Amino acid sequence: MAESVERLQQRVQELERELAQERNRRVPGSGEGGGGRVRIDKMSSEVVDSNPYSRLMALKRMGIVSDYEKIRTFAVAIVGVGGVGSVTAEMLTRCGIGKLLLFDYDKVELANMNRLFFQPHQAGLSKVQAAEHTLRNINPDVLFEVHNYNITTVENFQHFMDRISNGGLEEGKPVDLVLSCVDNFEARMTINTACNELGQTWMESGVSENAVSGHIQLIIPGESACFACAPPLVVAANIDEKTLKREGVCAASLPTTMGVVAGILVQNVLKFLLNFGTVSFYLGYNAMQDFFPTMSMKPNPQCDDRNCRKQQEEYKKKVAALPKQEVMQEEEEIIHEDNEWGIELVSEVSEEELKNSSGPVPDLPEGITVAYTIPKKQEDSVTEVTVEDSGESLEDLMAKMKNM
């Protein structure tokens, strides 16, 4: 068995080399559709039709971004290359991000054609492979690393953790940001587990199953609520929750909602990485009412995830070590964030409704409700769960954790 693995690894290396050679052999201006563009060593501000970066570099002249070229130094991992993830990847590619790591295990289907990005002729290809091909063609300056697997199995989880820790622009350095563009609870919890353990900042995104609401969320381990700290939130769309979640029923989706969510997600990424504007901790989108609530949540000191609690301790120490003025500024900023525009919202969530969901429930602005009800704990003791050497799938572990 060991030999077989070694041989296969050798074959993968061989094929990767061949593929790289084949791609290099392609003469610019030939190949698919007359073949893309040549690589560009340095981003230029020159205003000519042939410069793909002129409109981005203009952000400096407009006083929005002080150092746009810095975008090339960042590596971003995107988990889930579906309706939101594919558009997210395309936006970052067109912005000239340094490196993208894509994770997905799905295939392109005609049933995906109601969302942007994939095209009918790609049906049957793996999503990461099809995406890499299109994106490389759009911007050959971006480095791509794609993984066609499910991150929630134990083995893949280890590999995923390894790539988050070492897959940065310079091999051995961590990525700068992880973006969750997945469509299920388990995958989100897996990303949450990994990022809490690594202290890795990430952003979560989601679209409701009725296709008319979505959200993005920034999670800085120890500083803001993690995915396990509180039930994930959705923007209520004045629709009976029972019609939303039915097992085995095909979810609805719209290219509009997916496009808006990808847009506000990547905008938040750009603001975070390039240091401009206000980075949102939570931004919701209710398409029925054109309502966009913002808020921020503190982490839960009793969070189920021991690494989240550990990160909270470390964050507290970090804040305590800061000079007093900086701490005050930070707190002021958070208040500012919460109520940037002096918007007054009257909560319509009843006390009873809040009691029915377990765990700490934040004061929810009107129009936001919890997306999942987390099962009540049966005992109070907190058991530490580790994934190493357990031989169990993360799915099994997750099920255990839920029933604790």
Q: Which residues are catalytic?
A: 250
Q: Which residues make beta-bridge pairs with 286? A: 213, 291
Q: Binding-site residue total for its own copies (CB under 8 A)?
A: 123
CA angle 5–7–11, rounded 5-degree value: 115
Quick one: which segment of 2-10, 165-173, 369-377, 379-387 binds its own copies (CB under 8 A)?
A: 2-10
Lay out the site mask for its own copies across 310-339 (x = CB under 8 A, - = otherwise).
------------------------------
Among 87, 219, 303, 398, binds its own copies (CB under 8 A): 87
Which parts of 23-52 interact with its own copies (CB under 8 A)?
A: 23, 25-26, 30-37, 47-52
Among 143, 169, 244, 374, binds its own copies (CB under 8 A): 244
| d(C-alpha 311, C-alpha 315), whole Å | 6
Token pair for 159: 């590999």
* H helical segments located in 181-254: 185-198, 241-244
Instruction: State the nearest-atom distance from the C-beta of 261 to its own copies, in Å.
Output: 8
Quick one: which segment of 71-79, 217-225, 244-252, 304-312 binds its own copies (CB under 8 A)?
A: 244-252
Instruction: State the nearest-atom distance from the C-beta of 58 to its own copies, in Å.
Output: 4
Which parts of 370-389 interact with its own copies (CB under 8 A)?
A: none
- Torsion on CA atoms 160, 166, 167, 170, rounded to nearest 10: 180
Question: Which of 290, 26, 261, 304 lies closest to 140, judged by CA?
Answer: 26
Contact status, residue 141 vs residue 96, Cβ threshold 8 Å: yes
Instruction: State the nearest-atom distance from the C-beta of 96 to its own copies, in Å.
Output: 8
Among 113, 319, 334, 382, binds its own copies (CB under 8 A): 113
Q: Which is nearer to its own copies, 256 or 390 (CB)?
A: 256
Token pair for 141: 């300056």
Helix, coil or strand: residue 241 = helix
Instruction: State the nearest-atom distance from the C-beta of 165 to its own copies, in Å.
Output: 19
Q: Which is nearer to its own copies, 111 or 327 (CB)?
A: 111
* H helical segments located in 167-217: 185-198
Q: Which is nearer to its own copies, 61 or 402 (CB)?
A: 61
Lay out the site mask for its own copies across 175-214 (x = CB under 8 A, - = otherwise).
----------------------------------xxxx--
23: left (phi over 0), alpha (psi -120 to 50) or beta: alpha
All residues at 6 or more sequence positions from 147 whose CB lies less than 8 Å from its CB, including other chains: 101, 102, 103, 128, 159, 160, 163
Which parts of 115-174 interact with its own copies (CB under 8 A)?
A: 115-116, 119-123, 125-126, 129, 133, 137-139, 148-149, 153, 155-156
Instruction: State the nearest-atom distance from the C-beta of 326 to its own copies, in Å.
Output: 23
Which parts of 286-305 interact with its own copies (CB under 8 A)?
A: 287-292, 294
Among 66, 110, 353, 396, binds its own copies (CB under 8 A): 110
Instruction: State the nearest-atom distance from the C-beta of 327 to its own copies, in Å.
Output: 24
Contact status, residue 366 vs residue 284, Cβ threshold 8 Å: no
- Specify the residue for token string 């690894």: 9
| d(C-alpha 358, C-alpha 304), whole Å | 12
Q: Which is nearer to its own copies, 61 or 316 (CB)?
A: 61
- Specify the residue for token string 């109520």: 339
Q: Which is nearer to its own copies, 53 or 311 (CB)?
A: 53
Q: Mind spelling out the 3-state secondary structure of 79-137?
A: ECCCCCHHHHHHHHHHHCCCEEEEECCCECCHHHCCCCCCCHHHCCCEHHHHHHHHHHH
Quick one: which segment of 103-111, 168-176, 325-333, 378-386 binds its own copies (CB under 8 A)?
A: 103-111
Which parts of 339-368 interact with its own copies (CB under 8 A)?
A: 340-346, 366-367
Which parts of 251-280 interact with its own copies (CB under 8 A)?
A: 251-257, 259-260, 262-264, 266-268, 270-271, 276-278, 280
All residues at 6 or more sequence positions from 15 whose CB lies less than 8 Å from its CB, including other chains: none
| d(C-alpha 379, C-alpha 7), whole Å | 49
Task: Kindly state the greatest CA–CA separation across the chain.
Answer: 66
